[in-house]
Amino acid sequence: MIGFILGTSEGKKILSLINEYTEDIAITTATNYGGELLKKFKFKSLNTKPLNKENMIKWIKENKIKILVDASHPYAKEVTNNAIECSKELKINYVRYERLGALEEIQGEDIIRVKNYEEAIELMKSLDGNVLNTTGSNNISKFLDINFNYRVLHRILPSYEVLRKIIQAGVKIEDIIALKGPISYELEKAFINQYNIKAVLTKDSGIQGGVLEKLKAVRECNIKLIVIENPKFKYDLEFNNEEDLIKYLISKLK
């Protein structure tokens, strides 16, 4: 059995390719929404709840997984760390599929790179205007009660679970933009102008994550792009191309 930890849009292509050879696979995603996107594919089991290390070990054992493919989001540091540790403890093959960033080679005074949310928030406090947070809902609590003189608007998925979570956390409804991507440059620019945004906070989640559209809109509007850098891991086996990943997996099935 091949286990897939999926957390990016490439997951659908990976499953489409592997289904040409086998459906003897188990899938885990972090949300019901992520699972709904995958139901048309062939698999033996689908988990749609976040797994801590203990539950991940249980999931691997129950599904008799021999190869674990970690295609989680590039910024899902805890998930990747757990997957690596579980693979070592259970002595199974760990394979990383990593979406490449799009901003690594791009420079400019309008791009400000920070290591984490804490650095980003301290930088925001020096800005003279509103900030658009496009990094998702998991860390929204960090933006509450930060003694910021302007608004922080949060663009998140239009999911009932996500909306309930962040409203209960204390985010004001008028500071929520619920919209499913991908988002065009024109719409990014419209959000900036509509809400008088002075900086966009993002992760370098690659071309597929729409970060280049954000950069183009930021530069057009002469504001700042604050980029939380991607946590780096060293992998024994890493793929950045779906076809190459599938070729490797098929070679292991023979």
Predicted local distance difference test score (pLDDT) of residue 34: 83
Predicted local distance difference test score (pLDDT) of residue 208: 83
Number of domains into which the chain is organized: 2
115 occurs within a structural domain: yes
DSSP string, 89-104: HHT-EEEEE-PPPSST
Q: Report pTM.
A: 0.82
| Helix, strand, coil % in the chain, rounded to nearest 5 | 40, 20, 40
Predicted local distance difference test score (pLDDT) of residue 75: 87
220 occurs within a structural domain: yes
Q: Are residues 125 and 219 in the same domain?
A: yes
The CATH number linked to 204 is 3.40.50.720
Q: Are residues 46 and 147 in the same domain?
A: no
Per-residue pLDDT tens, the chain, 254 aa: give them. 999 999 878 899 999 999 999 999 999 998 887 888 898 999 999 999 999 999 999 999 999 999 999 999 888 889 999 999 999 999 999 999 998 888 888 989 999 999 999 999 999 999 999 999 999 898 999 999 898 989 999 999 898 889 999 999 999 999 999 998 889 999 999 999 999 999 999 999 888 888 999 999 999 999 999 999 988 888 999 999 999 999 999 998 86
Q: Is residue 240 a contact partner of residue 98, using CB atoms and an 8 Å limit?
A: yes
Q: Are residues 158 and 179 in the same domain?
A: yes
Predicted local distance difference test score (pLDDT) of residue 32: 83
Domain limits for position 154: 111-228
Q: Are residues 124 and 213 in the same domain?
A: yes
Q: Are residues 154 and 193 in the same domain?
A: yes
Give which of 10, 125, 150 is closest to 69, Cα–Cα.
10
| Owner of token pair 């696979």 | 25
Give exposure, 211-239, as e/b (b: 16+ Cβ within 10 Å): bebbbbbbeebebbbbbbbbeeeeeeeeb
Question: Hey, how many other C-beta atoms are within 10 angstroms of the C-beta on 64?
Answer: 12
Q: Are residues 115 and 224 in the same domain?
A: yes
